[in-house]
Amino acid sequence: MTLYFDPLAILGNDREAFRGRWEDRLWLNVPGPFYGGETDTCWTGRLSAPAHVLYGGEYLSEYVYRQPRTSADTALLVEAADSDPFLGYGCDGDSRWTPDTVREWWRNRGQVVQYLSDQRSTWDESDAAARQNVAAAVRDFESYIAAGLASDLRIYLYWLEERQSPVPDDLLPEL
């Protein structure tokens, strides 16, 4: 049994919807192959991938708060990227993230948690009109950071360092 699901293997060469630039990546994206950069602000991402996409930053751009773990998850994220008229999603995170930058993101996760906390009342108000359950997703992201994300990032670190998935008996890198 392997621990890391490689969503890029599902994509193959079909990466037309992923033209986002790493330099435009929103700082809220969790480390992994997918990220949102300069996306449209029309809030379509959560309609396709509600368990993976949130809105944030100055322009409420789309970002990936949970990387896909299955083929079905990947298909939903591809749909979200394909729905973005700016084609601002990227899928080259595996060649951009390094063990050091993943650890740095983790060390700075307090800024992410603070941002989410600061925005919670805004999302509670907007959910009544938009009906996208963003506030619930924000709480989900906060819970994921508190319990679960550290384990996923350690598995991702192994993937980055070894270019293969760990198995349950492998020693995972520290964050």
Q: What is the pLDDT of residues 115-141, one digit of tens each?
A: 999 988 778 776 555 567 888 899 999
pLDDT at 136: 87
- Decide: 78 and 11 in contact? Cβ < 8 Å: yes
**5 bridge partner residues:** none
CB proximity list for 165: less than 8 A, separation 6 or greater: 2, 3, 4, 5, 6, 155, 158, 159
Given the structure tokens 């700016």, which residue do they identify? 86
Q: What is the pLDDT of residues 34-57, one digit of tens each?
A: 999 999 888 889 999 999 999 999
Segments making up each domain of the chain, as ranges: 14-162
pTM of the model: 0.95
Q: What is the 3-state secondary structure (H, E, C) of 14-72?
A: CCCCECCCHHHCCCCCCCCCCEECCCCCCCCHHHHCCCCEEEECCCCEEEECCCCCCHH
